[in-house]
Chain A
């Protein structure tokens, strides 16, 4: 049976051989190389750390809670505003019904306000006459005109706003 323990001399000798062996098979690292690797490694660490920091920031309650609250307020405001506009416009004749149910026609609040002001200053009879007159000018049913031309292709800059039409002497 072999002895379980090595002598002190054997241990010492083996230790020296191991140290020499490791030294022999391991390349030296130059300072230049170490500095280059340090720089490259720091860039990677910084990039990862930055990404992690941003994720932590945007998922932190200090950001998510106010953001969620702001979103709720925004959604509720839009819903209230939409229902208000539709209700306001719903009673104003064929032209207005088409415009009122189309988001595209109500893209600018300034235009919407102008439209409301103009419409409010006319009775339903006047509005009906306006529709009829417009239908004669464009030679097609007025609701089709609103849907095809006004709602989708009307250019407020070049075509003018609704009060341009209202200023015409066709009432």
Chain B
């Protein structure tokens, strides 16, 4: 069964909805969580996004992945909420204080260096951060990313390249200080 067929049944079929949710909600949650830094709000946005995605399934042609469609909706919801509340999207925090306890990966990466990396990353604009996050953090193809950010595939590849370049420059500046 295709994603589109699943999505069309998902409004009333628990199993179809469950499959779509389990396959996509985790990724949507992570993308949103990195922006709002509040689990309850992030899940609320994820749920809203699924409701809207299923409700407007007529607009989903099935050419793109369902994940791209639902992430786009969730991001719009996040930006809308931030605009209405007058807050910026500033969920990108520096390295958490409890990083050592939270993740053994920190042993492989010097905390100070990670902090510098985080500061450089935060200097990127929201679109650049999103592009790198979807590419490196979620392993999405540039075609999927293009659907999410509303660009052509070629333009998306160029934008990702520029974002990486800018990040490298910010890191270099940080190294020089």
Contact = CB atoms under 8 A, between A and B. Distances in A.
A105 B24 CA distance: 68
B151 interface: no
Contact of B136 (A2, A6, A18, A44): A18
Contacts of B29: 29
Given A34-B26, A44-B51, A45-B54, A6 B165 contact: yes
A26 B33 contact: yes
B169 A2 contact: yes
Interface residues of B, number: 47
B105 A29 contact: no
A18 B105 CA distance: 13
Interface in B43-99: 43, 46-47, 50-51, 54-55, 92-93, 95-96, 99
B102 A44 contact: no
B121 to A, nearest CB: 7
B34 A45 contact: no
B164 A45 contact: no
Contacts, number: 110
A38 B18 contact: yes
Contacts of A41: 17, 21, 25, 46-47, 50-51
Contacts of A26: 30, 33-34, 137
Which residue, of A17, A41, A44, A50, has the highest number of chain B Cβ atoms within 10 A? Answer: A41
B96 to A, nearest CB: 7
Which residue, of A19, A22, A34, has the highest number of chain B Cβ atoms within 10 A? Answer: A22
Nearest to B57: A49
A38 B136 contact: no
A41 B45 CA distance: 10
A50 B136 CA distance: 39
B169 A19 contact: no
A40 interface: yes
A15 interface: yes
Contacts of A160: none
Given A29-B29, A49-B55, A24 B164 contact: no
A34 B169 CA distance: 38
A14 B167 contact: yes
B117 A21 contact: yes
B96 A24 contact: yes
A11 to B, nearest CB: 7
Interface string B14-44: 1001100110011001100110000100010
B7 to A, nearest CB: 11
A48 interface: yes
15 contacts: A6-B164, A14-B167, A18-B132, A18-B136, A18-B137, A18-B167, A24-B103, A34-B26, A37-B21, A38-B25, A41-B21, A41-B51, A45-B50, A45-B55, A49-B54
Interface of A: 2, 4, 6, 10-11, 14-15, 17-27, 29, 34, 37-38, 40-42, 44-46, 48-50, 52
Given A14-B164, A45-B55, 20 more contacts: A11-B164, A15-B136, A19-B136, A19-B137, A20-B114, A21-B114, A22-B136, A24-B95, A24-B99, A24-B102, A25-B93, A25-B96, A26-B34, A29-B30, A34-B21, A37-B46, A38-B18, A41-B21, A45-B50, A48-B51
The 5 closest A-B pairs by CB, nearest first: A49-B11, A22-B137, A18-B136, A41-B47, A38-B21
